[in-house]
Amino acid sequence: MKILALDTSTEACSAALLMDGYVIEEFALTPREHTQMILPMVQHVLSQGGVALHQLDGIAFARGPGAFTGLRIAAGVTQGLALGANLPVMPVSSLAALAHGVWRVHGAEKILTALDARMHEVYWGAWHVLGEGNVQAEDAGECVLAPASAQVPHTADWFAAGSGWSAYADTLLPRFAAVLRAVDHELLPRAHDVALIAAHQVMQHGWLPAAQAQPMYLRDNVADKPKPKVAVRP
Amino acid sequence: MIVLGIETSCDETACALYSSERGLIGDRVLTQAIHAEYGGVVPELASRDHVRHLLPMVDGLLRDSGVAREDIGGVAYTAGPGLLGALLVGSAFGAGLAFALGVSAIEVHHMEGHVLAPMLDDASIKPPFVALLVSGGHTMLVAVPEIGRYEVLGESLDDAVGEVFDKVAKQMGLGYPGGAALAKLAESGRAPTHAGAQAGVPPFPRPMTDRPGLEFSFSGLKTRAMQILRQVEAGESPEQGRADVARALQEAMVDTLVIKCVRALEQVGMRNVVVAGGVGANLYLRERLSATLEQRGGRAYFPRQAFCTDNAAMIAYAGWLRLNAGQGALVSSFAARARWPLDQLSPLA
């Protein structure tokens, strides 16, 4: 299977090409330069792999949670590429990608991901990595919550990953210390993992049409409606 | 060459196809409904709506127009000015599409699109002319000696014309955006008079027309309208009073615009005015400006009603002009600019 994968969900920017088992990746820490970097990265991995866009099976992207604008850059570029090259798409959780990265780098199988969501909240998820590309969500799956509300697991030996673990260390670490084996708060979601997870998801459920390249924000209360005027009875 | 135009700078999601041979092939506009209940455009919600609707819209336009994606020879997208997050949806999509098709992309200035919109229906319109840009976000007089060269002559120092109409309309309970409803209401208003409340409201001032210059200021006029509105609403016939205020406001605003247009023409030695932007749909403005310019041996040009407000036909057309002139490039990076001064554009040739 040949998959192009994009991630612009955090301050990192990456593109990866999965080529029947091996992965070519371009990755950079580029806050606010995603629009400059992402297409040259795509160009680079495609030429490294020696394939044209239309020869791919489909395009995967990190659909969130993460920075709203970044999510829409990946979704927008994916939509444009998919429409232009007549390809299907596969949205992948950025938290699942982060968990898969932990599995790939540290060998851990049980991962608690927390990305700083600002506004005193984290994007939270508990994951089991069962094998390459196979990431299962624990319990309720992903959510956005106050660090104090994050559920402490009943089992031990969890690996903590993501910026939330440093941003809210004071709240999270005392509560989770007993069940954690290690913390890596610098690891970020990467297109490499997005590609591998997408390949697994495609095997299970098949591709999706390009229009379904949509962000998953998790936070949906983004604006306050004006307060209705209360009618005063005479 | 067929150019796909994409517009997502504010709360309209739009796409259009413009061809060298056939002119405007087709266009689609979706005005986002979600903002009405917030009383104004919420940028994050606008961005979310764009990314949901843009691809199905482009897909549908291609299908219904019988244009295959391989027939697209260039992609034009609005790169600014506007809401940054909203713009980024169109530019990411447009850049991705151009990249995949291996065709050139061109960044279009939203206001240049508006200036050129009347040419979609009337190819005889040629510079030099003065452009009057009037919308919810802009009030601007621009000298256009040639396409691509824009010299800003004057702008609003505070509220834009459309903003004043919308805000007063909102206060009248006409909803948001209510500028068009206010113009409708003005039709049943009585002529302003100094004789007192019995025969309509007193005339409103024509701000900054008593001194030289091409700047506008409408916030004082808005405040005045709001004051009188409160008075008539507390009076015996609030309905008629509201209509009277609508009429007096519209007359004062349009009068001010017409006076400044004539002044701008005199300053730069031109005869014709091209009107662009949402307020260009205002019939009273169309009548008054046309009549005044005809007396001076000139003409006022307006886009068709549908192309006064944000649309992608004007973006496709502006992009087509520039791509035809050899501008644009194969995509590597893409950009969106919340601010982008109109006078920084380059001429076509």
Chain B neighbors of A88, CB-CB under 8 A: none
What per-residue confidence (pLDDT) applies to B232?
93
Interface contact B336-A77, CB threshold 8 A: no
pLDDT exceeds 90 at position B139: yes
- Number of Cβ pairs < 8 A linking chain A and chain B: 111
Closest partner residue to B100 among A85, A211, A223, by Cβ? A85
What per-residue confidence (pLDDT) applies to A234?
45
User: Given its phi and psi angles, is residue B196 left (phi above 0), alpha (psi -120 to 50 degrees) or beta?
Assistant: left
Mean pLDDT of chain A: 95
Q: Does A6 touch chain B (CB under 8 A)?
A: no
**Chain B residues with CB within 8 Å of chain A CB:** 37-39, 42, 44-45, 47-48, 51-52, 54-56, 58-59, 69, 84-85, 88-101, 331-336
Tens-place pLDDT, residues B287-303 = 999 999 999 999 999 99
Rounded Cα–Cα distance for residues A202 and A221 (Å): 31
Rounded Cα–Cα distance for residues A122 and A124 (Å): 6
Chain A neighbors of B89, CB-CB under 8 A: 72, 76
Selected residue with higher pLDDT from A234 and A163: A163
Which residue, among B11, B252, B312, B286, has the nearest Cα to B132 in the 3D structure?
A: B286
Give the model's confidence band at A227: pLDDT under 50 very low, under 70 low, under 90 confident, else very high.
low
Residue B183 belongs to what H/E stretch?
helix B179-186
Asked if the interface predicted TM-score (ipTM) of this complex is over 0.90, the answer is yes
- A67 to chain B: closest CA residue: B85
Chain B neighbors of A35, CB-CB under 8 A: 88, 91-92, 333-336
Q: What predicted TM-score, i.e. pTM, was given to this entire model?
A: 0.94
pLDDT exceeds 60 at position B260: yes
Mention every residue, 6+ apart, whose C-beta is less than 8 A from residue B254.
Answer: B282, B284, B285, B288, B289
- A79 to chain B: closest CA residue: B93
